[in-house]
Structure 1
Amino acid sequence: MKRVILIGSPGSGKSTMSTELAEILNLELYHLDNIFWKPGWVSVPRDEQIEITKKLVNQKTWMIDGNYAGTLDLRLERADFVVFFDLPRWVCMYRIFKRVWQYRNKKRPDMNAGTERLNWDFIKFVWDFRKKKRPLIYEKLSRYPNKQVYILKTRKDVKEFMKEVRVKKHDL
């Protein structure tokens, strides 16, 4: 595992796992939420996101956590390992509400935009993720049959995956 991406719904556990996984694998970690959002919740323009992503994926090794469909193909093309969090909607919804409570009036370590916030558009995005974004992710993954892809569908899958990584980190 030299070039790893983690994708999935907000609240699925990408940032939490990527932090631990990057440390285990000794990879530089890039949280796209931290890179693609400026303070004050100002989004980096799409063309700038593409240029940033091109620079990141052209490095020899890396780990990138985040969805951002506009740059997913660039990351998939170069990744040698993909972790897709396909957890149930209720788990993701619970976690985003928990995260809002945990980081109320504070900045998340993986987010540059400002204090944690929750609005209707974000709730709807998470609620609709399995219906609207998930099929597109599976379709994109199908274009890369030679990539090593782990699909994590339950919290148990996540725990087992991390256990396996700790044991076989050099063989994956």
Structure 2
Amino acid sequence: MDRPIASGTVNYIDDAIAADHIRSARRMLVVGCSGGGKSTLSQKLCGHLDLAYISIDRDILWLPGWVQRDRAEQRQRIVERIAGDRWIMDGTNPSTFDVRVPRSDIVIWVRMPRLLCIWGVVTRWLKYLGRTRPEMAPGCIEKVDWQFLEFIWTFEDRFSPRIVAGLAQHGPNVPVLQLKSRRQMQRLLDLLGVPA
């Protein structure tokens, strides 16, 4: 059951309530640490629900060769893409929550343990060794370095407070599902009837 919302809080919901919201949602935001399964989950949901897939990495943030777009251009590209009516946006970037969260029907926060995220990134790197993965900008060859591993290791401590604050400030009435294990993610997909 949904609980009453007070200003400045996050509207956390459970799997069953989230599944009901997702079935009717037209716009979803999927956030969380690299390697946690955001892109895989987003693409499965897009295929099942016939929603457009928007990747922050591919469509907003990166230019070929791991060059970041200018922040103003990133923001403009986000605004243009979320103007559409049916989408799932895969990517965290709390600095743009002010435009993305209010436009979302639900937020799914993929909040996996950091060792699982590191495992996800390393296995993804091996899968796409020497190539660019589909949800990344062209010319961004998959890589793993110490800086990226440190980012993942410290993500929960450094970014979770910003995520919570951004969700509370910009979407206190937007339902938020936290997925904290692969089992919970699979349970959600099962509730939605998404094939494995």
C-alpha distance in 1, partners of 2:185/2:123? 19
Say whether residues 1:26 and 2:50 are aligned partners. yes
Offset of residue 70 of structure 1: 2.4
2:176 paired with 1:152 = no
State the TM-score, normalized to the length of structure 1.
0.92
Q: 1:33: how far off?
A: 0.5
Which consecutive residues of structure 2, in runs of 5 or more, have no partner in the other structure? 1-24
Larger mean CA deviation between 4-13 and 33-42 belongs to 33-42
Q: How many residues align?
A: 167
Percent identical among aligned pairs is 32
Report the Cα distance in structure 2 between the residues aligned to 1:65 and 1:25, rounded to whole angstroms. 15
**Structure 1 segment 1-172 matched on structure 2, within 5 A:** 1-35=25-59, 36-112=61-137, 113-143=139-169, 144-166=171-193
How far 1:73 sits from its partner (Å)? 2.3
For residues 88-138 of structure 1, give each alpha carbon's deviation from its aligned partner in whole angstroms, at most 9, with x where no partner exists: 111001111111111111110101142101122211111110000012112
TM-score by length of 2: 0.81
- Secondary structure of 2:102's partner? helix
Alpha-carbon distance in structure 2 between the residues aligned to 1:12 and 1:73? 23
- What residue in structure 2 maps to residue 170 of structure 1? none
Q: Distance in 1 between matches of 2:151 and 2:97?
A: 17
Q: What SS class does the counterpart of residue 77 from structure 1 fall into?
A: coil
Greater relative CO (CA pairs within 8 A, separation 6+): 2
Distance 2:167 2:161 in 1: 10
The CA RMSD over aligned residues, in Å, is 1.3
Structure 1 runs of 4+ aligned residues shifted over 6 Å read none
